[in-house]
């Protein structure tokens, strides 16, 4: 295992002017019964719920009941009102208006003895980002790291695609991904890049150690400089005609191999 430094001298996380937590905002509304239910259940800071007055599903009634238990105001509105707030996102008759929130702190990635971090390099599709967050949370990952540029923001689309997992999994946004990788190395994590040109199979690596998995976008994969800062590269074999997997599928393959080894 890599030797541990005495202290971490610098961080690449963008912070607010007063030196507090990172200043980036998460979405101020969450749409869809599953995403809203998990957000309420997880205790997210929700200012109020907007519910379509003609909604009849049992899940919506469950959400309203749960909101009452947590003292969250509920407003029954016309569907047109929810449509305007959701801005085109499918809301299924329920929208949660959330308070302003921050991305997670870099330190939040180290709440366990064996961190399992997912680094996403250039994932700009919000559906893909949400799907990776959903899979990572299901696999017990410690958190997600995304760059400030070339990454989908934590929008309502991401929250819905995550099916509520965004309420539980820390997402850290950093100014420079390479610097963040070096920070993680200094914390004792091994950096494993998923690259189709790698020689080693994804099953050949020992994921039982503290590890960060790096996945790139579908079109360009991991950027050269990020790839060069990985400790090891692994590949998922492609036996058909297509050249690559969707990033959320690739993340699931790698993460569940880590789960298999760790359990």
Each residue's pLDDT tens digit in the chain (263 positions)? 444 333 232 223 333 333 333 333 445 888 999 989 988 988 887 888 999 998 888 899 999 999 999 899 999 999 999 998 888 888 999 999 886 556 899 999 999 999 999 999 999 999 999 999 999 999 999 999 999 888 988 877 888 888 888 888 999 999 999 999 999 999 999 999 999 888 999 999 999 999 999 999 877 889 999 999 999 999 998 888 777 788 999 999 999 999 999 99
Rg (CA), the chain: 19
**Six token digits for residue 127:** 């559906």
d(CA 26, CA 190): 29
| CA-based nearest residue to 183, from 109, 125, 133 | 109
Strands (E), 38-167: 46-52, 74-77, 94-98, 116-121, 143-147
pTM of the model: 0.72
**Six token digits for residue 203:** 């099953």
How would DSSP label each residue in 135-157? HHHHTT--EEEEESSSS--S-HH
CATH level 3 topology of 29-98: 60s Ribosomal Protein L30; Chain: A; (3.30.1330)
d(CA 254, CA 200): 13
Where exactly are the structural domains of the chain?
A: 29-98, 106-262
What are the residues facing 143 on neighbouring strands? 117
Q: What is the CATH number of domain 106-262?
A: 3.40.1280.10
């Amino acid at each position: 295992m890599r030797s541990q430094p005495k202290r971490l001298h610098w961080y690449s996380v963008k912070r607010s002017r007063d030196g507090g937590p990172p200043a980036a905002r998460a979405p101020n509304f969450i749409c869809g019964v599953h995403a809203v239910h998990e957000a309420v259940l997880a205790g997210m800071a929700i200012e109020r719920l907007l519910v379509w007055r003609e909604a009849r599903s049992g899940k919506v009634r469950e959400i309203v009941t749960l909101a009452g238990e947590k003292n969250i105001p509920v407003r029954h509105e016309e569907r047109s009102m929810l449509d305007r707030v959701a801005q085109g996102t499918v809301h299924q008759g329920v929208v949660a208006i959330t308070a302003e929130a921050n991305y997670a702190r870099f330190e939040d990635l180290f709440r366990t003895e064996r961190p399992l971090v997912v680094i996403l390099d250039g994932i700009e599709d919000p559906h893909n980002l949400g799907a990776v967050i959903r899979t990572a949370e299901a696999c017990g990952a410690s958190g997600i790291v995304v760059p400030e540029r070339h990454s989908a923001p934590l929008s309502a689309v991401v929250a819905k695609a995550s099916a509520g997992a965004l309420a539980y999994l820390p997402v850290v946004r950093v100014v420079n991904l390479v610097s963040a990788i070096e920070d993680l190395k200094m914390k004792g994590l091994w950096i494993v890049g998923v690259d189709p040109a790698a020689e080693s199979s994804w099953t050949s690596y020992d994921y039982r150690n503290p590890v960060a998995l790096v996945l790139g976008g579908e079109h360009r994969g991991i950027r050269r400089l990020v790839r060069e800062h990985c400790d090891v590269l692994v590949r998922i074999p492609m036996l058909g005609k297509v050249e690559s997997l969707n990033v959320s599928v690739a993340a699931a393959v790698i993460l569940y191999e880590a789960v298999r080894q760790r359990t």
